[in-house]
Homo-oligomer: A and B are copies of this chain.
């Protein structure tokens, strides 16, 4: 009986994730689900990424859904960049659900989907639970700060495995590397053992190290997902 309840909840989420995909496909929008521990640097990475993607000659039109338990602090940081943003509050819940993402994206007057190329979802800070919930995304990204230690890929294998085919791991806060006990070689080795398909980026979002390579990957995910999702625009 217990198992049945969880199955139904999970099935509910998966159906909502399909709804998210159906909503975004006609607009050619790419959805990227960003996961990571509290304080792994997700919002700071997003700030640097949005600045890079917004630049001429070919700016990508982005929006952000910010997940949080209780506050709108991260959404305020994104709004300061003049990027469309909504705050998704879980009220104590440990992960975002596809239903909440769909609700935000389809809400009247919230977003102009015709004016967007890419939506980032910053999940609740949690390296365990969010990996179990498909949000309808085209790519999953796990952000791991070097301050968290180089044992985390082996200790949270489920999440790094779920980053999956075509998705990415961003090693963040690279500027702290000299002060931290973090063996980059070990992290690279552990990731390629657990998830050899995942792209790995080593980024210092504050000084800009590695941001362009990572932003280029986001552009490529966008190009690939529009090819798959929607017919070419009429010429």
Residues of A within 8 A of B (CB): 1-2, 5, 9, 37-39, 68-71, 73, 92, 94, 124-129, 145, 147-149, 151-152, 154-158, 173, 175-176, 179-180
Contact = CB atoms under 8 A, between A and B. Distances in A.
| Complex A-B, nearest 10 residue pairs according to Cβ-Cβ distance, in ascending order | A39-B148, A147-B147, A94-B128, A37-B38, A38-B127, A37-B37, A39-B149, A94-B129, A92-B158, A5-B5
A1 B158 CA distance: 30
A18 to B, nearest CB: 22
A158 B71 CA distance: 12
A178 to B, nearest CB: 9
A46 to B, nearest CB: 14
A38 B69 contact: no
B92 A94 contact: no
6 contacts: A69-B156, A70-B154, A70-B155, A70-B156, A94-B94, A125-B127
B127 A128 contact: no
A2 B12 CA distance: 14
Contacts of A9: 2
Given A147-B39, A148-B39, A179-B175, A158 B69 contact: yes
A47 B152 CA distance: 18
A110 to B, nearest CB: 23
A129 B5 CA distance: 19
Contacts of A92: 128, 158
Contacts of A73: 151, 154-155
B94 A155 contact: no
Contacts of A173: 147
- The winner among A37, A39, A179 for most chain B CB atoms within 10 A is A39
A69 B151 contact: no
